[in-house]
Amino acid sequence: MAIPNQKEIGWPILEFLKDGKEHHIDKIAKRLEDHFELSKEDRSLQKSSGREGLFHNRIRWANFYLRKAGLVDSARGTGMSKITADGKDLLKEEPAVLDMKYLMRFPAFAEYRENVRKK
C-alpha cells in the first residue's frame, strides 16, 4: 500500500483518540502504521530532507489540521493529542475524507486558512 496522504489520515487519528485520553504522536504513528498495513519499506521512507519519516510528517500535518479545526487539542511542542467534544461529535458523522474543503465548515479552521491567505 502507498503511504496515505493527510486527508486519509485524519479520520483514523480521530478514531484512535476517541478514548478521550492524551496520546503521544509516536503512539498514534505506530497505531496508524498498523492500521494502514504499511510495509517495512514504507515505514522507513524519509522526506527528501532526510530529517523525518514521510508517513510521520503526514501524520503531523493531519493532526495539525485537526487541531486548527478544533477537533483535537494538542499543546504545541509536547507531541500529545486529545480529541475534543467537536471531534467526538464528528465521529458520529463518518465523512468520507477530512480534506481541507470539509474542514472549512469549522469556523476555527476557516479563520486559520483566511489568516494563511492574508500572509
50: pLDDT strictly greater than 80: no
Domain ranges of the chain: 6-118
DSSP conformation letters of 26-52: HHHHHHHHHHTT--HHHHH-B-TTSSS
For the segment 19-37, the average pLDDT, to the nearest whole number, is 95
Q: How far apart are CA 16 and CA 12, in angstroms?
A: 6
Range 6-118 classified under CATH 3.20.20.70: no
**Residues 63-81: tens digit of each pLDDT:** 999 999 999 998 777 889 9
> What pLDDT, on a 0 to 100 scale, did the predictor assign at position 28?
96
For the segment 75-97, the average pLDDT, to the nearest whole number, is 89
For the segment 75-96, the average pLDDT, to the nearest whole number, is 90
For the segment 49-74, the average pLDDT, to the nearest whole number, is 93
